[in-house]
Amino acid sequence: MDPPDKTQERDKKLKNLEMELNDLRQGLVTVTDYFHDLERVSRQQDAVEAVDQKIVRPLVDEDIEFEGIWKFHEEVLVADPAARVPCTEMYEAFVRYCERTGRSVVNEDLFGFVFSRMDNPAPLLYQGEWIGCRLRTDRS
């Protein structure tokens, strides 16, 4: 090879290496930016999870307690405008239902408060009795 050809070859190789080095630098910048974005998103997710643990999760746990009442109402009661069920009998049926299904049992006052706001059938509390629904004998 002639010396000018060797010089051109070397210059060409050097130029290719410089382009590869430039591509690597751009790739490094891209990876660094991606890492910083990922780190920022991770911090945001940590913040969201912290909010979930402190605020949202207790609400969900509360809903789990109420779910027992809702399911009891849905699965064990039948609308009957003439029916009357003593409060203690209704609550005892609720406790049995929760024990049988593995749901959370709430105290009687909370049960009465939530239960009185149910619809279809909508029970009415009057003189120690729930009026407007009866217990299904096959489920209570």
DSSP conformational letter for 136: -
The predicted pLDDT at position 41 comes to 76
The predicted pLDDT at position 88 comes to 93
- Give the pLDDT confidence of 15-60 residue by residue, as tens digits: 998 899 888 889 888 888 888 887 787 777 776 666 666 665 555 6
What's the whole-model pTM score? Answer: 0.54
The predicted pLDDT at position 52 comes to 60
- pLDDT at 6 exceeding the cut of 80: yes
- Give the pLDDT confidence of 68-103 residue by residue, as tens digits: 888 888 889 988 888 999 999 999 999 999 899 888
Please list the alpha-helical segments (H only) found in 52-127: 57-76, 87-101, 108-115
Rounded Cα distance between 71 and 63, Å, is 12
Whether the bond into 4 is cis, omega within 30 of 0: no
For residue 134, the tally of other CB atoms under 10 A from its CB is 20
The predicted pLDDT at position 50 comes to 67
The predicted pLDDT at position 140 comes to 53
- pLDDT at 1 exceeding the cut of 80: no
Find the distance separating the first CA and the last CA of the chain, reported in whole Å.
100
What residue spans define the domains of the chain? 57-135
- CATH level 2 (architecture), domain 57-135: Orthogonal Bundle (1.10)
Question: Predicted confidence band at 11 (pLDDT cuts at 50, 70, 90)?
Answer: confident
